[in-house]
Amino acid sequence: MPPILNAQSVTKQFGATPLFQNISFTVEDGDRIGLIGPNGAGKSTLLALLAGQVEPDTGELAVRKRARAAYVPQDSRFAPGLNVRQVLENALVATHVNENEREGRLRELAGRTGFDDLDAEAASLSGGWRKRLAIMEALIGAPDVLLLDEPTNHLDLAGIEWLEELLANASFAVVTVSHDRYFLESTSTQIIELNRVFAEGLLRVKGTFSRFLEEKQAYLESQTRQQESLRNRVRTEIEWLRRGPKARTTKSKARIDTANAMIGKLAAMDTRTSVNFAGIDFEASERKTKRLVEFEGVACAVPEGENATDQPTLPSQTANPAQARLLFEGFNFILTAGMKVGLVGPNGSGKTTLLRLLRGEVEPAQGAIRRAEALRLVYLSQLRELDDSLTLRRALAPEGDGVNYQGRTIHVASWASRFLFTSEQLNQPVRNLSGGERARVLIAKLMLEPADVLLLDEPTNDLDLATLEILEDNLLEFPGALVLVTHDRYMLNRVSTIVLGLDGHGQIGRFADYAQWEDWLAEQQSAQSPPTRTAKQTDSGNAAGPAKKKLSYLEAREYATIEQRVEASDERLATARDRVEDPDIATDADALQQALAELDAAQLESDDLYARWAELSEKASGAGSGA
């Protein structure tokens, strides 16, 4: 059977520079393709091309007869006044579903997607629920291939897990543009990276995302060897040319032609394989204060029906406090320098509101928040707010042709190039920038502000994988405190030293990592769930009854490395004990106090790891015996 979609030798460019050139891309039945690549490589454009939304400049797209492609773009918008039912009914009509089957199809999909209120206005839904509705709208016509552009950007963690389960059980092919590494790992059976660094413009590898990383590394190493071999041959030919060969003989002419061809090939390869990375490096203040922010018995709420990401009206400020919805209460927490806090929870549970409390934008309904004197907080909003009328030059350097970074002046062109912008882009308006480019502009602005505390709300949205890794490395090295709201589970596990989980019902739990939060949430939902499965339970991804006794995907990854983590913890504990017993330290009161504190911390870490190891081992053995 022919492919569902077959794009052959397609090229697309905006302006003088092609996004991609002469690439070929096929989608077969059953394919689960993760499409990745650097910002500006043309991933979204290629997806729109496959959906028939964009025409290629050259090349052609062939669609199998009677095959249907459903496309869900990054930004899901609906006309004002339409409710959920009307959106879906319009989709049923547009896809020519038999009238007798429409109501059953609608209710079946609504249940799978978690919608229990079909009368809700579509345009007023949160970003996550609009994304669910857009996916539901795409699925209602039973497509042969589903094309998803950054579907996890607006979904909360429960929504991401819902989508993973949906795609795992799908009968249709899927092509997903995403930078969520865990999502790619669990939903893709092959990865395609769109990148000029590859000779054919892309690299396609069958297997998981982790398998792709191995194959890509091998490819790049082979390419480097070929490049070095060619460079050595070109060096030899240049030496021969410098000796002034006579071009009269046929043999000499052929060698001169060959030498020039090799020089051109090497130049093209050097241009293609030169890779630039964003220079992200947040500047920390020189503050010596350890305690930065202290929460004592803090409570916060919003009026019933109001989204927690909106400006909250607190119970003490409402005419009828009894109608307020509690986000959390009795919250006690101390944020100290060096702490890396990950905030997780369903959409509307109060993560962004907690950031606003930290910033002092709103006051708690109860309790107190104490901040260190002259505390400097730097905040990255998930809204990517930029003045679209500004040029890139003015957005990066509002008051001149340079910026002051870490005590020295840098010209705006050099500052722009650090974030992968060209000098030609400086006079273009920021409204022309992609989502990833807008994110880099905001990061560039934030880096100019020395910070005691970094508050990052969904910083991973729209950033490519290379930039994400650089951002993670910088956050790990940042000496101040970090509070991070993200649905990127990989970043949470890599960067966070503590996870605060909001359950959306007034509780905040404190956890060592995301896996512990996931287990706790499953237990909470299991205890609260009635025997009958409802749409809301479908949405959270947990059925009624006891929590699963087998390892989840994240737990399996954790279990694979926990023995090494335990061994490393044992070494740190032994080192800490040796320091306490060191005679030089034992006679120095200050040094001894610090060594004892380090010993306590190492012992606590060791105890937690051994407890977690035992818990995972029990689950692993349970899964094995039940297989």
Nearest to 458 by CA among 517, 516, 383, 508: 383
Q: Determine the Cα–Cα distance for residues 95 and 558; give it in Å rounded to an integer.
A: 44
Q: What is the C-alpha radius of gyration for the chain, rounded to an integer number of angstroms?
A: 28
Q: If pLDDT is split at 50, 70 and 90, which confidence band does 566 have?
A: confident
Q: Determine the Cα–Cα distance for residues 379 and 283; give it in Å rounded to an integer.
A: 13
Q: Determine the Cα–Cα distance for residues 94 and 100; give it in Å rounded to an integer.
A: 15
Asked if pLDDT for residue 307 goes beyond 70, the answer is no
Structure tokens at 168: 């795992």
Structure tokens at 583: 């005679």
Asked if pLDDT for residue 545 goes beyond 50, the answer is no
Q: Determine the Cα–Cα distance for residues 504 and 524; give it in Å rounded to an integer.
A: 11
Q: If pLDDT is split at 50, 70 and 90, which confidence band does 540 have?
A: very low
Determine the pLDDT at residue 250: 61
Nearest to 36 by CA among 47, 26, 23: 47
Structure tokens at 378: 């730097």
Determine the pLDDT at residue 499: 92
Determine the pLDDT at residue 204: 94
185 within 8 A of 162, measured Cβ to Cβ: no
Q: Determine the Cα–Cα distance for residues 623 and 627; give it in Å rounded to an integer.
A: 6
Helices vs. strands in the chain: H and E counts, helices first: 19, 20
Determine the pLDDT at residue 503: 81
Q: Per residue in 431-455, pLDDT tens?
A: 888 777 888 888 888 888 888 899 9
Most confident of 275-289, 485-499, 534-548: 485-499
Structure tokens at 106: 């609608």
Nearest to 309 by CA among 364, 346, 360, 363: 346
Sign of the CA dihedral running 583, 587, 591, 594:
positive
Determine the pLDDT at residue 535: 35
- Mean local confidence (pLDDT), 392-408: 84
Structure tokens at 489: 């589970």
Strand partners, 499: 342, 511
Contacts for 51 with CB less than 8 Å, ≥ 6 apart = 69, 71, 147
Determine the pLDDT at residue 530: 52
520 within 8 A of 502, measured Cβ to Cβ: no
Residue entry with tokens 């004892």: 596
Task: Work out the number of other CB atoms within 10 angstroms of the CB of residue 577.
Answer: 15
Q: If pLDDT is split at 50, 70 and 90, which confidence band does 1 have?
A: confident
Structure tokens at 367: 């309790």
Most confident of 303-307, 311-315, 418-422, 554-558: 418-422
Structure tokens at 501: 């989980």
- Mean local confidence (pLDDT), 399-409: 81
Name which residue leads in pLDDT, 114 or 186: 186
Asked if pLDDT for residue 616 goes beyond 70, the answer is yes
Least-confidence region, from 336-345, 354-363, 538-547: 538-547
Nearest to 439 by CA among 395, 484, 481, 402: 395
Q: Per residue in 466-495, pLDDT tens?
A: 888 888 888 888 888 999 998 888 888 889
Nearest to 178 by CA among 381, 436, 494: 436
Nearest to 526 by CA among 508, 511, 547, 507: 547
- Please compute, for residue 72, the number of CA atoms within 13 A of its CA located in the half-sphere on the CB side: 28
Q: Determine the Cα–Cα distance for residues 143 and 171; give it in Å rounded to an integer.
A: 9
Q: Determine the Cα–Cα distance for residues 186 and 554; give it in Å rounded to an integer.
A: 10
331 within 8 A of 367, measured Cβ to Cβ: yes
- Please compute, for residue 213, the number of CA atoms within 13 A of its CA located in the half-sphere on the CB side: 8
Nearest to 359 by CA among 344, 335, 376: 376
- Please compute, for residue 617, the number of CA atoms within 13 A of its CA located in the half-sphere on the CB side: 8
φ/ψ (deg, to 5) at 2? -70, 160
> How confident is the prediction for the chain on average, in pLDDT?
81
**CA terminus-to-terminus distance, the chain:** 36
428 SS3 class? coil
Which residue type is seen at 518?
A: E
Asked if pLDDT for residue 8 goes beyond 90, the answer is yes
Q: If pLDDT is split at 50, 70 and 90, which confidence band does 321 have?
A: very low
Using CB atoms within 10 Å of the CB of residue 80, give its burial: 0 to 12 exposed, 13 to 18 middle, 19+ buried.
exposed
Using CB atoms within 10 Å of the CB of residue 286, give its burial: 0 to 12 exposed, 13 to 18 middle, 19+ buried.
exposed
Q: Per residue in 180-229, pLDDT tens?
A: 999 999 999 999 999 888 888 899 999 999 899 899 888 888 887 877 77
Q: Determine the Cα–Cα distance for residues 122 and 125; give it in Å rounded to an integer.
A: 6
